[in-house]
Chain A
Amino acid sequence: MKTETLLKVNGISGGYGEEAIIRDISFSIGRGEFLGIIGPNGSGKSTLLRLLSRVLTPQKGYVELEGSDAARMRLKEFCRKVAFVPQDITINFSFTVWEIALMGRIPHLGRLELETKKDFAVTENALSLTDAFHLKEKYIDNLSAGERQRVIIAKALAQEPILLFLDEPTSHLDIGYQIQILDLLKSLNRENSLTIVMVLHDLNLASEYCTRLILLDKGVIFKEGDASEVLTYENIEAVYKTVVLVNKNPLSLRPYVTVVSGENRCKRS
């Protein structure tokens, strides 16, 4: 079954200043996909996400969103379709949860236009979806990391996007919160047909949740495909320069990566 293409990446290169961290990458993202981008530190995962979300301008190539050149769209129009969740954010001022989530409506508002009942309803719904509605009167700087991340995701959902980018959304969270956030994303992906593109460090989480994986290495795509194609010990050892064992998760039957410490490596050989 061929799904409709939502985002098409045509040979983009880019990075910071003159330097190209991402080099001539092309791929496409289908509507309703849950795509994971993995790769070692410095392989360009976050840079790729920044290029796709228009924070960085590509030096070469272009990105098409629903068939039209993303760079030519007005930024606000683009942000009505695409939202972004960062790793963590530090906020110096005492905004309440409600005020933060309501900022997700900014792309839908004109300059000096006030929020209407519809904006409040969308924001309420977004906070309920991420199970953060009861926090709405609290100050964002008084929340735990997990609660804060749920509010940030609610802000992104209040944008009513069709495509959601996430840059390591769970890396500051404990295992319980990690699963909670990823389960939430999975259900948004299934039930609200939200297309998700997520950078993840944890290979096993990527294996469990993503429908397709892109493995980056040194700014190019090393391997692309479903978890069983990408997460082989050959690929991982080649890219991460470390020895691993790849088994199957007994429940999901997806690849499960086991790390091998230096000590155990010596014992075996």
Chain B
Amino acid sequence: MNKNFKKKILILFAVLVLAVFLGIAKGAVNIPLSQIFLEESRPILYLRLLRVLLAVIVGSGLAVSGTVLQAVLRNPLAEPYLLGTSSGAGLGAVGGIVLGLSAVYIPIAAFLGAIFSFILVYNLAKEGNKVPVQSLILGGVIISITLSGIMVFLIYISDNDALHGAMWWLWGSMQVYNAVLIYAVGAVVLAGIFALYMLSQDLNAISIGEEEAMHLGINTETAKKISFLLTSVITACIVSICGIIGFVGLVIPHIMRLVVGPDHRLLLPASCLAAASFMIICDTLSRSLIAPMEIPIGVITALIGAPVFIVLLKAKQRIR
């Protein structure tokens, strides 16, 4: 394993702690850090802590899912939404709004939509008891396009509420103040991340080839199926409360591969920590840059993530 891995993980951890403080200190209302812990700012502190917690959950869940899918599909362009969960969630949410469900049930409708679309993609790709990755990627694309089409149709024939729902879904939103929902999603994401970490050695082997992994004693098909299921459940949970938050799940894994290397025993925790910090910073910017308005979180993740990635990529090329 990487020689400096303890140092690197410690640094990433320190960055996360700093990010948490930044997330608590900054916001629409300007309160100095010295006063935020006082009695009278309790409610604001509570809300900000919820946002920070949500950012940690969303960031780490998406980054770990992205890392795992990139390894299992052996495709550097893989991202958490590839297997259709996002369009399923979008359709579920918009469908729920059109049917007049109360706002409380919309995340549940979105979650069911996401799981439904994953089951569809999975069964489309399945041949006997094997799941060829190319078919899975194609299936994901086809199902996504179909479900998005149905969603656009629903928006077209209905009123503004549905459009609003779709906007939420498309741009992503961290404005979730339902603590129970955040805890529930957090528990699922945490359990999923731990379970995926158990597979890290399998992921190393599979990323050099499926047959290669079998020759190393890895039960490739089982590892693949568990990975697809867990990443989809994690992504479905996140997308059903926050919509699509792009870029994190695609680029953080790549950045961390440049920083700590491709060994998943190190890469998964590193991606987890880095993405959590990244999301906290992005979320803080989104609510404080032009306060009291919020910039959509997806805009921030793209505008910050892309330049960071390009700088790192160029630096690495020079080193080699």
Contacts and interface: CB of A to CB of B under 8 A. Distances in A.
A93 B260 CA distance: 12
Nearest to B199: A111
A77 to B, nearest CB: 8
A112 B211 contact: no
A109 B209 contact: no
B198 interface: yes
A94 B261 contact: yes
A78 B281 CA distance: 49
A142 B200 CA distance: 25
Given A17-B128, A91-B208, A99-B261, A112 B201 contact: yes
Contacts of A83: 215
Interface in A96-142: 96, 99-100, 103-104, 106-107, 109, 111-112, 114-115, 139, 142
A103 B212 CA distance: 10
A75 interface: yes
Given A91-B208, A92-B76, A94-B257, A103 B1 contact: no
A139 B263 contact: no
Interface string B40-82: 0000000000000000000000000000000100111000000
Most chain A CB within 10 A, of B201, B208, B209, is at B208
A112 B201 CA distance: 7
B219 interface: yes
Nearest to A77: B217
B261 A103 contact: no
A190 interface: no
A116 B263 CA distance: 16
Q: How large is the interface on A (under 10, 10 to 19, 20 to 34, 35 or more residues)?
A: 35 or more
B320 interface: yes
B79 to A, nearest CB: 15
Nearest to A93: B262
Interface string A27-60: 0000000000000000000000010011100000
Nearest to B207: A93
Contacts of B201: 106, 109, 111-112
A93 B1 CA distance: 16
A92 B71 CA distance: 9
B148 interface: no
Interface residues of B, number: 29
A92 B74 contact: yes
Contacts of B257: 93-94
Contact of A112 (B71, B198, B205, B261): B198
Contact of A84 (B197, B207, B215, B262): B215
A230 interface: no
A134 B212 CA distance: 24
Interface in B267-320: 320
B216 A106 contact: yes
A96 to B, nearest CB: 7
A158 B215 CA distance: 12
Interface in A211-236: none
A107 B216 contact: yes
B214 interface: yes
Contact of B1 (A53, A55, A76, A115): A115
Contact of B262 (A54, A99, A114, A142): A99
B218 interface: yes
A106 B320 CA distance: 28
Nearest to B267: A93
B204 interface: yes
Contacts of B211: 50, 55, 84, 86
A114 B1 contact: yes
A112 to B, nearest CB: 7
A148 to B, nearest CB: 11
A175 interface: no
A96 B216 contact: no
B217 A79 contact: yes
Contacts of A100: 208
Nearest to A80: B217
Contacts of B216: 79, 103-104, 106-107, 159
Interface of B: 1, 71, 74-76, 128, 197-198, 200-201, 204-205, 207-209, 211-212, 214-219, 257, 261-263, 265, 320
- In order of increasing CB-CB distance, the 5 nearest A-B pairs are A76-B217, A79-B217, A107-B217, A84-B215, A93-B262
28 contacts: A17-B128, A54-B214, A55-B214, A55-B215, A75-B218, A75-B219, A78-B217, A79-B217, A80-B217, A84-B211, A84-B215, A86-B209, A86-B211, A89-B209, A92-B207, A93-B257, A94-B262, A95-B207, A95-B208, A95-B262, A96-B261, A99-B262, A103-B216, A106-B201, A107-B216, A111-B201, A112-B201, A139-B320
Interface of A: 17, 50, 53-55, 74-80, 83-84, 86, 89-96, 99-100, 103-104, 106-107, 109, 111-112, 114-115, 139, 142, 156, 159
